Structure 1
């Protein structure tokens, strides 16, 4: 960890005290648990910056992006290996990060730096069904909900804004609510808008054989 980041982290801990667990439970409008939701906390106070030595990874496995949803801190670098035996052509037209990694198979392109907040939608020019997401957040406090719609973060005591995002959430901005952390706390977030339908991935093996 860079010295600057370490010093900032120690200063934050000294200001707010030791980290405490925060459990977040996210449910859809019908009451069902929301799995794969992006949960993160922001603060008006200074927060540690992304570690420039850390590499996040968005792989391609069995003609799918893996993980389907990746969360990184603003300023993070992401590498895009290809674990398939066929070529992929990864791209994004999202305002938060527009890029193109032309056909490749046996090599991993140079890592890309994601330095703008927002949702980055990924696609493959060869395999149209491939869809992935990278969420770039301006905080080191982030995670994703499990199958039960639950997520846990360890954060210093203080006042935060709790944000929730999901690829099937048809809203340009995250669902946000204030959260005061004095001790370990459990909070619930119930989405008010219905989710978009899930994607039915279809693959034509013959059409893309060898690519």
Structure 2
């Protein structure tokens, strides 16, 4: 996972997962093809753009590496045309979204650490990388961002980023430990959905 190709593969899988999630939300709102593609693009790459701007990596990969926008747009267009079949795969979409959460948290945290961001800051960057696209997706589709109202989502990303930072500090950030960390975040996210865990809210 620490190699450049492994990070690229993890990043692109995460891009595809969040593009599918964003495009699906846009289709549900009856947006046109451009709208679906745009929301899918923002959902897939918004977190990464935010990460790159924070760590001073400009231009962001979303604009400097053609594989990122092409992956996001291709998946979004596929969802637009295949959404009847895609809607029957809701569980698969939730799995992809959870997997994207884990993958983006790992890659975002590692890139922040590689850029010299201190540990606490790297944890925050990792979390923002994972949730940034979802926040933008919900705002564009007129929804209160899910991560702010009920789901155990941002907390999973922040906890996972702390684990990745700890592994790096202990010099244990190899492919297998990082893959396990990403899988653990995915598992916790899916378990939270299954058990309907949510953060406490203020009493009325």
Give the alignment's TM-score, normalised by structure 2.
0.27
Structure ranking higher in helix proportion: 2
Structure ranking higher in strand proportion: 1
Give the alignment's TM-score, normalised by structure 1.
0.26
Q: Which has the larger radius of gyration?
A: 1
